Structure 1
């Protein structure tokens, strides 16, 4: 199995790449399966049909909104008709969830669960303060913002169960201007998160964008991956987080090799109607 399970298209506010282009590139690269996981970030973005309207990016005047769900799922169906003989196309969403927005995601999942194969549990902001802008980190010590980040993930996991895997679990490392925070200082918190995921029948993701972001380790780190395995975790997906064809499937096979040869995983996972399907590495 050669699959990319974190992929964006024109339905994400931060991607201009069409589904058609992504699919054609995936076929040319020899992928067996892909899953689109376009962005939903309640708290900082509105839905397209929100009566309050949507916001616009000041730099580019592009719409700042969640997925247009009816058009998204309709296009996915058309893509399966067009390309289904060449590649398996799965239907997913990336939930940029916070504890304060859980109710929004419960309603969204209830509305579209029959059309979903896969849901990423991501955390891009806490209390609507984003990481990439440093709004969340400012005014806090490195210890404070790292611990708060992982506590918020654990708190939210206990409130929301309608997801498949935890995406880029140590995402904060990508935006930490003070360097990589020592794993040992948050190991107990991360262990609680992983135990919760395992108990709930959920998995974790290896996000291969760590290579093009120039991180010194995988995302999540090898120590987190090993801890997940040691605790009994078995559900693991691999995705490029590609917002353009340039990065589609980027370093997926490298991630497979790390999972198998360094961490000791024997299988990777894909999803069908929210159910894990295991494939030998």
Structure 2
């Protein structure tokens, strides 16, 4: 079965891909189960009804002139998902998720959000630390490679120790995408990674394989094969696969490749989700 469990639409502030177009394209690709996981990043970004008002950035090429620095418009988002389910239920399973860009100090806001809507699936990602972005190198600036790598994973460990309403860790070694010095040695990070994965497994959660490594030009999987091997050795079994799509050309890309790579690593199953519960499928 072909499933894509990391998909962004126009409800994310970094995508203009209409949700219904995503669904039509997914059906044409033979995807049978799709989960929308649009961005929520408390700290740098605000909700639409935030009393402080909305902030904007200039639009890049192909974007509107101004782009709102906001989280998902939740009511419209979940309403649209329900509408799409009704319209396409005979052709594709549509699941309701979000990608939570959690930091330790923003956990209370995610606790409140989780209680407010009916979720099938939640990706827990670390996109910032101390409200400093990785993708702009704001966090890395002024730090050594060791400091920003260890800082990233220490923040991830703190979050998984203190926040539990999620399904899988998203692109677990995200920092690799934005490391101008190359890949920091796995062995130096292994103690931290082991503690993180043990916490995730004990909590009944999982990790994702994110196939965007191809478009970012990375030499390894995301997360790396070393991390995937460690997760398996520690007893981890819950794995989802997602394209991290923001555009039509990303959707469903390299999902079959990821399955084959997982088989090579000794995995036999992957997961979809419904009402926050994993459903296992043969690879």
Counterparts of 2:143 and 2:224, CA distance in 1: 23
Secondary structure (helix, strand or coil) at the match of 1:4 reads: strand
Shift of 1:169: 0.3
Q: Where do 1:36-185 residues align within 5 Å?
A: 36-59=36-59, 60-112=65-117, 115-185=118-188
Partner of 1:214: 217
CA distance in structure 1 between the aligned counterparts of 2:105 and 2:126, rounded to whole angstroms: 12
For these two proteins, the number of residue pairs brought into alignment is: 278
Displacement of 1:51: 1.1
- For 1:21 and 1:245, how far apart are their aligned partners in 2? 9
CA positional deviation for 1:244: 1.1
Counterpart CA distance in 2 for 1:245 and 1:7 is 10
Other-structure match for 1:271: 273
Once the two structures are TM-superposed, the CA of residue 110 in structure 1 deviates from its matched residue by 1.1
Find the residue that maps to 1:277 and give its secondary structure.
strand
Distance (whole Å) between structure 2 residues aligned to residue 170 and residue 156 of structure 1:
15
Partner of 2:10: 10
Report what 1:197 is aligned to.
200
3-state SS in 1 of match to 2:252 = coil
- Equivalent residue number for residue 26 of structure 1: 26
Match of 2:62 in 1: none
Structure 1 residue aligned with 2:252: 249
1:58 Cα deviation after fit: 3.0
Unaligned runs of 5+ in 1: none
CA distance in 1, matches of 2:235, 2:97: 26
Q: Distance in 2 between matches of 1:15 and 1:140?
A: 30
Q: More displaced, 60-69 or 34-43?
A: 60-69
User: Could you tell me how far 1:54 is from its partner in structure 2?
Assistant: 1.1
**1:152 Cα deviation after fit:** 0.6
TM-score, with length taken from structure 1: 0.98
- Using the size of structure 2 for normalisation, the TM-score is 0.97
Query: What is the RMSD computed on CA atoms of the aligned residues?
Result: 0.7
